[in-house]
Amino acid sequence: DAKTTQPPSMDCAEGRAANLPCNHSTISGNEYVYWYRQIHSQGPQYIIHGLKNNETNEMASLIITEDRKSSTLILPHATLRDTAVYYCIVGTTSGTYKYIFGTGTRLKVLA
Amino acid sequence: NAGVTQTPKFQVLKTGQSMTLQCAQDMNHEYMSWYRQDPGMGLRLIHYSVGAGITDQGEVPNGYNVSRSTTEDFPLRLLSAAPSQTSVYFCASSSRGQKTEAFFGQGTRLTVV
């Protein structure tokens, strides 16, 4: 599976958009980009995933570059509850049992 | 619908003891996995199963055994606990298909002294 690179930490003001980048330059054509977050030491929570088109749901938006080598997770109006570690993972939909986690980005939302 | 349930939430073992971490899911998912997470690190895959009766090793399988006799349950056995196995353990389940994601349990925090 492809590996990803994320900045170790980011800060964001409450109410502002949080933009979390991820590089996945070796992604294969059938691999999706998944985003999860882990609040405190709870189990990771699914946020969103996509293949090549931009995706949006009630939690976030996912922007994938045309060459698919990088992506950005956007939390449109960050709240204190969004403080967490965010993981970007690439993999196939038939391989959701074998994620390769990096160390993620620790997002701190500031009041 | 409880999702993925892990028991116990906390456990302290002495070196050399054995124990089983329980994981159950009620979503009829084909796939189940065990991960461990050490301080400041991401999750690492221990073992996984793609269906009842089918298991395989992940990245860090040494010292652990698994079996999958039913779709719902996927227990993780520590054969002879070592201090290096002190960690937080997460179980996950997911299903086949295009619009799927993994669901994680709340973790078991294990300390081996």
Question: Using beta carbons and an 8 Å cutoff, which residues of A are at the interface with B?
Answer: 34, 36, 41-46, 49, 87, 93-94, 96-104
Residues B29 and B50: their CA atoms lie apart, in Å, by 9
Contacts of A67 (CB under 8 A, 6+ apart): none
E strand segments, A31-76: 32-38, 45-50, 55-56, 61-64, 70-75
Inter-chain touch B92–A43, beta carbons under 8 Å: yes
The reply to whether residue B88 touches residue A41, judged by beta carbons under 8 angstroms, is: yes
Pairing status of strand A9-13 against strand A105-110: parallel
- CA A103 distance to own-chain centroid: 12
DSSP letter (8 states) at residue A95: G
| Residue pLDDT tens, chain A, 111 long | 558 999 999 999 999 999 999 999 999 998 999 999 999 989 999 999 999 989 999 999 999 999 999 999 999 999 999 999 999 999 887 788 888 998 899 999 999
Name the 3-class secondary structure at A44.
coil
Task: Tell me the pLDDT tens digit for each residue of B69-105.
Answer: 999 999 999 999 999 999 999 999 998 876 678 999 9
Partner residue opposite A96 with nearest CB, options B49, B100, B107: B100
Closest by Cβ to B102, choosing from A42, A96, A103: A96
